[in-house]
Amino acid sequence: MTAGTIKIGVTVPDFDALQAAGLSNYQGDNRIAFSAFIDRINADGGIHGRLLEPVYSSFDFLAPETQDVACSQLAEDEDVFIVLYGLLASSNLCLTELNDTMVMTNSYQDTAARERSGETLWLQLESADDEQVRVLGSVLAEAGRLEGATIGILANGRLSDGSAGVALQEALADLGYDASLDITTEISGDEIASDNELGRIAEKLRSDGVDFLFNLLGGGDATQVMADAGYRPENIAYSTLNIDTEAIDKQLIDGAISVDAISDDAVWNDPDFRATCINPVAESYPELAEELAAPLPDDSQQASGVASWLVPIRSACNQTMLLKQLGEIAGADLNNASFRTALDELGPVELHGLGSASFTSAGKWDGLDEFYLLEYDAGTESLLTIGDPIVVTR
């Protein structure tokens, strides 16, 4: 940082590399999305008279070494003030833990990573990974779905020793609900052993009368396996509902519940989001106006190279907004400490295309507090949004 500039890093995922690897997740260019909003901030006088000087660094999601290079370039060679968009999962610790460089991401944070970041801010738009199960329990309790139920939790012991299940059990207890907890132990890849274990758990859940099951396994075909073993709960809630793999018989997951932020299509078509986030990019890059006016591409279109601009535009729109707001609150002496203090003065904030959010310096560095209840309808083979959004106090 100088008297007239603030150097910020912006990471740029290499989606051509993902395409080459056969992953249909082609998205728009972060350089374009972020530059549109950075230019607007600069045109408005920057932050306390300092103009933003972006440094872009590319990385490959599938190659950790490229993320280390991007981290080194931005934090060491360029000595940026903060990195926007960030890297993949724990690779962000290269910025916070190793280089004391603030970072802002959409997701990937959890409690352990936040603690390892120490005093260095790792701000995140969405809820932290291990907060999502607490959000799931809170939303279902708020919606009245747990009243009178005998509740069970099935957690994956291969993922952090089933800590997601423990966290959910504690959250439900705080809300006044008792829940039994079963954590899988069998080694991944041994399908016979895994199915046998699920069969034993299914028999226990059936004999205990569990009629509301939280399935936190995060994929697989556990619902089908347990149904084949004789256990079919009246209600199932998933931390991640994989419709294609969870059960061959889709009637087994009819009415299954999950919790998520607003749907991508609803965001893309929202007039306020278009006015606030999409139009500035279209105005800065007129050659993209027609592409940005089109509906979001489906998986097959993305696989053929049609870019989905939602994630880069939403990321750039919100992260630059937060950077400017926090910078203005922090004052002329911009540093990690002043940004942490600014979090407490920021108050509730509306994240464009996501919803209500809040941050605190004491450790709530993941913002989103607004979620929707989703229910799978086997008749239409789709997840339907149920009711109004629920804002969770976290």
The CA distance from 271 to 315, in Å, is 18
pLDDT of residue 110: 83
pLDDT of residue 189: 65
pLDDT of residue 218: 80
Closest CA to 284 of 296, 292, 272, 295: 292
pLDDT of residue 240: 82
Q: Which amino acid is at 333?
A: D
Closest CA to 102 of 316, 310, 326: 326
**Per-residue pLDDT reduced to its tens digit, 360-380:** 999 899 999 999 989 999 999
CB burial class (10 A; 0-12, 13-18, 19+) of residue 74? buried
Q: How many residues make up the chain in this entry?
A: 394
pLDDT of residue 254: 96
Closest CA to 370 of 262, 263, 265, 272: 262
Within 13 A of 99's CA, how many CA atoms are on the CB side?
Answer: 24
pLDDT of residue 1: 82
**Per-residue pLDDT reduced to its tens digit, 159-172:** 677 888 999 999 99
Q: Is the model's pTM score more than 0.85?
A: yes
pLDDT of residue 219: 77
The CA distance from 106 to 317, in Å, is 12
The CA-atom distances, in angstroms, between 111 and each of 128, 135, 161, 189, 366 are: 7, 14, 15, 28, 10
Q: Return the residue matching tokens 């256990």.
A: 231
* Structural domains of the chain, ranges and CATH numbers in brackets: 5-126+263-363 (3.40.50.2300), 131-260+372-391 (3.40.50.2300)
Ranges of residues in the chain with a pLDDT under 70 are 159, 186-189
Q: How far apart are the first and last CA of the chain?
A: 34
Question: What phi, psi does 33 have (nearest 5°)?
Answer: -60, -50
